Structure 1
Amino acid sequence: MPLVITSSTSSQPFEKIYLDIVGPLTCSQSGNKYILTAQDDLTKYSIAMTIPDQEAKTIAKELIQEKIAGELKNYKSVDSVTNEDEVVNYPTEFLNSLDLPGLLPHNLQLKIGSVIIMLRNINQPRLCNGTRLAVKKLLNNVIEATILKEKYKGEDVLIPRIPMIPNDMPFNFKRLPCGLHLQCR
């Protein structure tokens, strides 16, 4: 989707925010090298926070998860090897620690109001890879969310856990997370 530049002013606080990153700077005692700044378009409210790197997941965690009010809910994946003979070689703790491109983290942390993006096709064309949603309810085994864009905008959906099996590993394992990822707005 191409970047759309708009000149309209927001009609409500935090509808549109501006971000900037400064750094790398001298590393702080807590390991931070960058400063992330955010400014609300309507109110001009500004905030600055230190972060260790410029990765999207770091920015999303700091900006969205730390600044959105509400309780943080953890969704931990269920990781297992597909070949029972390899269980002793690849313990669950090791599988949980794997952070691979295209694979969700073992521990996905969400709050109501977080913006998420689908990573897998569940129900085309409604729920497919790239669909943006806003978290509405955080239930134990599913997430209720509202579609934010396109033809189905405003529609509420349930997102279940979806098995993911990476094929670029020297062994086969399965991760059973929710099929989505936190998105920095």
Structure 2
Amino acid sequence: MSLIPDEERTYLSCDPLIADTASVNRPDDIHTPEFLNTINSSGLPNHKITLKVGVPIMLLRNLDITAGLCNGTRLMVTKMGRYVIEGRVISGNNVGEKVYIPRLSLTPSDTIIPFKFQRK
């Protein structure tokens, strides 16, 4: 990324805990946002992502299969908004098309984590 002469933008996740009604009053189920931010799980982006215009990125989820936005599709970042990233497809059947990637809520499917949370 240091080779690309453009301004960086850092995106931070918001990781709310999904409350389980059976364990709401248990004191050992309290997880701080700092702890949730440190969790790295398969299929989840990291808590902190730094991007620049011109950087290639890869989708981790199927967003729109008919438009070719599938897991593994590569994009080149063209614009960065507060909650949306604009990109140009650089792999697959729709090379050259402009697409928009919104902020998503993802829940890890890793069974090792004994509680549920979302990463936006």
Match of 1:149 in 2: 91
**Which residue of 6, 31, 38 corresponds with 1:97?**
38
Return the letter of the residue paired with 2:89: I
Query: Identity over the aligned pairs, expressed in percent?
Result: 38
Deviations, residues 44-69 of structure 1 (Å, cap 9, x unaligned): xxxxxxxxxxxxxxxxxxxxx22211
TM-score normalised by length of structure 1: 0.57
TM-score normalised by length of structure 2: 0.86
**Which residue of 115, 129, 136 corresponds with 2:71?**
129
Return the letter of the residue paired with 2:9: K
Return the letter of the residue paired with 1:75: Y
Judge conservation of contact 2:16–2:119 (CA < 8 Å) in 1: yes
2: CA distance between counterparts of 1:150 and 1:129? 11
Show structure 1 runs of 5+ residues with no match: 1-64, 177-185
Q: What is the Cα deviation at residue 151 of structure 1?
A: 2.0
Match of 1:114 in 2: 55
The structure richer in strand per residue is 1
Deviations, residues 25-60 of structure 1 (Å, cap 9, x unaligned): xxxxxxxxxxxxxxxxxxxxxxxxxxxxxxxxxxxx
Deviations, residues 61-80 of structure 1 (Å, cap 9, x unaligned): xxxx2221111101111101
Match of 1:82 in 2: 18
User: Highest relative contact order (Cα 8 Å, sep 6+), 1 or 2?
Assistant: 2
Instruction: State the secondary structure of the residue aligned to 2:15.
Output: strand
Match of 2:102 in 1: 160
Q: What is the Cα deviation at residue 103 of structure 1?
A: 1.6
2: CA distance between counterparts of 1:103 and 1:92? 16
2: CA distance between counterparts of 1:106 and 1:70? 22
Segment drifting more, 139-148 vs 91-100? 91-100
Deviations, residues 117-144 of structure 1 (Å, cap 9, x unaligned): 1110111132110111000001110000
2: CA distance between counterparts of 1:140 and 1:147? 20
* Deviation >4 Å, runs of 4+: none
**Which residue of 163, 167, 172 corresponds with 2:116?**
172
Over the residues paired in the alignment, what is the CA RMSD in angstroms?
A: 1.7
1: CA distance between counterparts of 2:76 and 2:12? 20
Count the aligned residue pairs: 112
Instruction: State the secondary structure of the residue aligned to 2:35.
Output: helix
